[in-house]
Copies of this chain bind each other. A is one copy, B any other.
Amino acid sequence: MLSIGKLGQAAGVKVPTIRYYEQIGLLPPPDRSAGNQRLYPRAALERLSFIRHARELGFPLEAIRDLLSLSDRPDHPCEAVDDIARAQLEATRARIARLRALEAELERMLAQCASGRVSDCRVIESLGNHALCTHHVEAV
């Protein structure tokens, strides 16, 4: 059995985060010691590592909740799992596309600035005048 601190260390998750996951129902409440401290079985480490890995990949907690409950049904087809992963891939690609447009605009602004006085700064000018943008992406 693991204390919350050991579990956190083993999974690479901070202690308050574990308690937070329990609070929102992502981790089941574990048994307690005589002194009311949480004691986790080995299985909790697997589950928490799964969550951590999915978080690193950008899955929102709601998606992770679904993935976890799907993984409890090993005999079902994995279509729903793959759908969630595909949605995450799509979201990731959309964010990349948006950020690349922002990168290009920032680069352009900086390249045009001759680094003189603020009154001549192309960065300030471009920010103030939307029309100076060659391309534009709406918020996603």
Q: Which A residues are within 8 Å of any B CB, using their own CB?
A: 46, 49-50, 53-54, 56-58, 67, 70-71, 73-79, 81-82, 85-86, 88-89, 92-93, 95-96, 99-100, 102-103, 105-107, 109-110, 113, 115-121, 123-124, 126-128, 130, 133, 136-137, 139
Chain A's interface: helix, strand, loop or mixed, by majority? helix
Alpha-carbon distance between A110 and B116 when the two chains are bound, in angstroms: 51
Contacting pair B46 A128 (CB below 8 A): yes
Contacting pair B81 A123 (CB below 8 A): yes
Quick one: copies of this chain in the complex? 2
15 contacts between A and B (CB under 8 A): A49-B128, A49-B130, A53-B126, A53-B127, A56-B102, A57-B102, A74-B117, A77-B117, A78-B113, A78-B121, A85-B110, A86-B110, A88-B106, A92-B106, A96-B99
